[in-house]
Chain A
Amino acid sequence: MSLLLRRLKKSFREPDGNPLPIINIDHFELKQAEQVALVGSSGGGKTTLLHLISGIHTPDSGEVIIDQVNLAGLGEPARDRFRAMKIGYIFQTFNLLPAFTALENVLLGMSFSGQKSNRAHAIDLLDEVGLKHRLSHKPSKLSVGEQQRVAIARALANKPKLLLADEPTASIDSRNQNNVLRMIRDVCKEHHVTLLLVTHSEEVARQFDRVETLSDFNKPEELLATASK
């Protein structure tokens, strides 16, 4: 699945009401099955960008084109459906549901996509991230690293075509970090999933053929300049 961002703009508002431009990307492209590491300073807008790509945020203007479909032009229900079926998202803050066990969290992702929830597949995924012995633990009973791995398994549950990972290995020790990272990359490779992975870690970024720094192609300050003219 290919991704193309064109003239993508997003501003928030400061508490005093002034616009706070975060994203201003003229052109950014990921090829089908490409694996890209995205680095950048904290607060630079990496998470915001992933939200825009997944359709959780709507851009102020511009296009998010995934496989020739402009996500920004779709209505909300279609965008929800598209996200459920095509995009896997590993949140920086995991976003597990506290009322549900590890296994149920993975199954939930499946049930919203309209597919039949496949229990065996969910268990396989949790096994792959090393959590077979934690299936019926609730998030509060899991370590932070374990929670992150549940989030990874959930993101992969619907066999997405585009995987957005927001620092997926930040809370895992370096040995496990490499295992998990390899697992994510292997799964993506095997199923030709396009991967955009945000990281702060030099070590992680080094493993990717293509590493992008957000500030190289995102120029929000230009928005402010044009606005003040």
Chain B
Amino acid sequence: MSLIHIAWKSIRQRSLASSLTAFNMALGVMLMVAVLVFYGVIEKSFKQTGAHYQLIVGPKGSKVDLVLSSVYRVSPPIENLPYLYYLQLKNDPRVEEAIPIALGDVTQEGAFPIVGTVSRYFELPYADKKKFKVKAKNGFSGSFDSIIGAEVAKQNGWDIGSTFKLVHGGADVGHTHDEEFTVVDILARTGTPNDRTVFVNLKGFYQLGDHDKPVEEAIDQLQKFYPDGVPGGEKRIKELREFAASGGDHHDHGEEEGGDHAHHHHHHHDLPDELKEVTSVFVMMRDQDDYAAYNFMNELKTGFQAQAVNPTQVMTDLMQSLIGNVQKIMVVLITLIIIVSGIGIFVSIYNSMADRRREIAIMRSLGAQRQTIFAIILTESVLLCLGGGLLGLLLGHGLFFVGAPIIENSTGLIIDRYAFEPLELTLFPVLLLLAILIGFLPGMTAYRTNVADVLSE
């Protein structure tokens, strides 16, 4: 009979204590595996999403906020860029493509983020070499056209032709815009936050009440943004003031309150570009070289009140600084859990030694060497630790498999349920080492058993 067989027998002999302690170990390992896989997957998909945009240009401020709001749509924008500046980028000879996006509102149903943008957004790949697939190939034509992500369509049960309203996300949260948008197309699932986004025609976005600024505020901001002079100069500013005076500024709802509400509440005319804003601009350089993008980034640093960031870089840094630390803390805590389960196994084996003194003495009297007895105890510990570890590995992946849809629903990322983190493999040598540490003291007790004394007891 092999040592493993003999060790297994005595584990079976104490099946309750053995299975409880091994299960304890399994739970620790399960948590560890789940955390490792979870973070591995999150990190990968965070880095991949938006990686194809060379640059994101937004207002000066937190780079992370800029990326989180523009690409992940998880944090609302704080500042905006003048629309004029978007036009400037678009016309820059070094820029191949510049796509404006404007954020702020959410859908009344399901509270999905609204992104005002242009049809060209859907012509660019959404991830490396991956192009959007649409249901009907309808771009934005009407101002109140909308293209929705797959998850939005699924959760809200919307199809082409569905109509919906927006809730204002700005100053007066909860105010519902009267304008109705119509779904003209549905994106195929991408596994990116686009799935959870409702895209509307930027034109329509500007026509919503409250989406243009009071003229004086807009002029103020333009002057701040262009310290060396607003494009068009004083002359243009004067024109803007005249536009406002002529009734273009429709922020004084009060006087219209009594009138024909439906007709006069909003003025669906084109705003002057100076009164429009965008949240950020996705930029593809004509020169695909990273160096060109880098130069462009540096240029912005010194010039305007804008910044250009590389989304991949920002996300990698964020992963490192924020999520990386959380992961580290969790790994440390779970390591403690595993060590505690190891101590459980130790206590269980160590306590059993008193009952097994006789068993050990008999084995010795049958001719078993001291080392053999030591090895049997050590094997027991290894079997419990690695057995628990293996079970934990399966449970961990099971947990992840079951939890993946939940992560998918809340992040919009598509998760590989069978994801495997190479780091998991290092668990086993570590568990082996732990098992040896655990088995050592009981093993030594067994090693020292005095056969004659025990047998004549």
CB distance from B16 to the nearest CB of A (A): 14
Q: Is B12 positioned at the interface, with any CB of A under 8 Å from its CB?
A: yes
Q: Is B6 positioned at the interface, with any CB of A under 8 Å from its CB?
A: yes
Interface residues of A in 51-68 (CB under 8 A from B): 51, 54, 56-58
Residue of A91, A95, A154 ringed by the most chain B CB atoms within 10 A: A95
Q: Which of B6, B358, B367 contacts A83 (CB 8 A)?
A: B367
Residue of B358, B362, B364, B367 ringed by the most chain A CB atoms within 10 A: B367
Tell which of A105-113, A142-150, A183-191, A210-218 binds the partner: A105-113
CB distance from A216 to the nearest CB of B (A): 24
A52 to B445, CA, bound (A): 24
Which residue of chain B lies nearest to A87 when distances are taken between CB atoms in the complex?
Answer: B367
Interface residues of A in 83-142 (CB under 8 A from B): 83-85, 89, 91, 95-100, 104, 107-109, 111-113, 117
Q: Which of B1, B358, B369, B455 contacts A108 (CB 8 A)?
A: B1
In the complex, which residues of chain A have a beta carbon less than 8 angstroms from the beta carbon of B9? 99-100, 104
Q: Are B12 and A95 in contact (CB under 8 A)?
A: no
- As a 0/1 sequence over residues 85 to 101 of chain B, the CB contacts with chain A under 8 angstroms (1 = contact) are 00000000000000000
A54 to B455, CA, bound (A): 13
Interface residues of B in 363-402 (CB under 8 A from A): 363-370, 372
In the complex, which residues of chain B have a beta carbon less than 8 angstroms from the beta carbon of A111? 1-2, 6
A91 to B9, CA, bound (A): 23
Q: Which of B372, B452, B455 contacts A95 (CB 8 A)?
A: B455
- A104 and B370 contact, Cβ closer than 8 Å, known pairs A56-B451, A95-B362: no
A-B contact count (CB 8 A): 69
In the complex, which residues of chain B have a beta carbon less than 8 angstroms from the beta carbon of A81? 367, 369
Q: How many residues of A contact B (CB 8 A)?
A: 32
In the complex, which residues of chain A have a beta carbon less than 8 angstroms from the beta carbon of B368? 80, 84, 112
In the complex, which residues of chain A have a beta carbon less than 8 angstroms from the beta carbon of B410? none
Q: Are B366 and A108 in contact (CB under 8 A)?
A: yes
A117 to B1, CA, bound (A): 7
In the complex, which residues of chain B have a beta carbon less than 8 angstroms from the beta carbon of A58? 452
Q: Are B366 and A84 in contact (CB under 8 A)?
A: yes
- A104 and B367 contact, Cβ closer than 8 Å, known pairs A57-B452, A97-B359, A99-B359: no
Which residue of chain B lies nearest to A117 when distances are taken between CB atoms in the complex?
Answer: B1
Q: Is A26 positioned at the interface, with any CB of B under 8 Å from its CB?
A: no
In the complex, which residues of chain A have a beta carbon less than 8 angstroms from the beta carbon of B370? 76-77, 80
- As a 0/1 sequence over residues 42 to 55 of chain A, the CB contacts with chain B under 8 angstroms (1 = contact) are 00000110010010
Q: Is B13 positioned at the interface, with any CB of A under 8 Å from its CB?
A: yes
In the complex, which residues of chain B have a beta carbon less than 8 angstroms from the beta carbon of A100? 9
In the complex, which residues of chain B have a beta carbon less than 8 angstroms from the beta carbon of A96? 362
Residue of B358, B362, B455 ringed by the most chain A CB atoms within 10 A: B362
19 new A-B contacts at CB < 8 Å, known A111-B2, A112-B367, A112-B368: A51-B455, A51-B456, A56-B365, A56-B455, A80-B367, A80-B368, A83-B365, A83-B367, A84-B366, A95-B362, A95-B365, A96-B362, A97-B362, A104-B9, A108-B1, A108-B366, A109-B367, A111-B1, A112-B369
What are 29 A-B residue pairs whose CB atoms fall within 8 Å in the complex? A48-B456, A51-B452, A51-B455, A51-B456, A54-B365, A56-B365, A56-B452, A56-B455, A57-B452, A77-B369, A77-B370, A80-B364, A80-B368, A81-B367, A84-B366, A85-B367, A89-B365, A91-B365, A97-B363, A99-B12, A99-B359, A104-B9, A108-B6, A109-B367, A111-B2, A111-B6, A112-B367, A112-B368, A113-B367
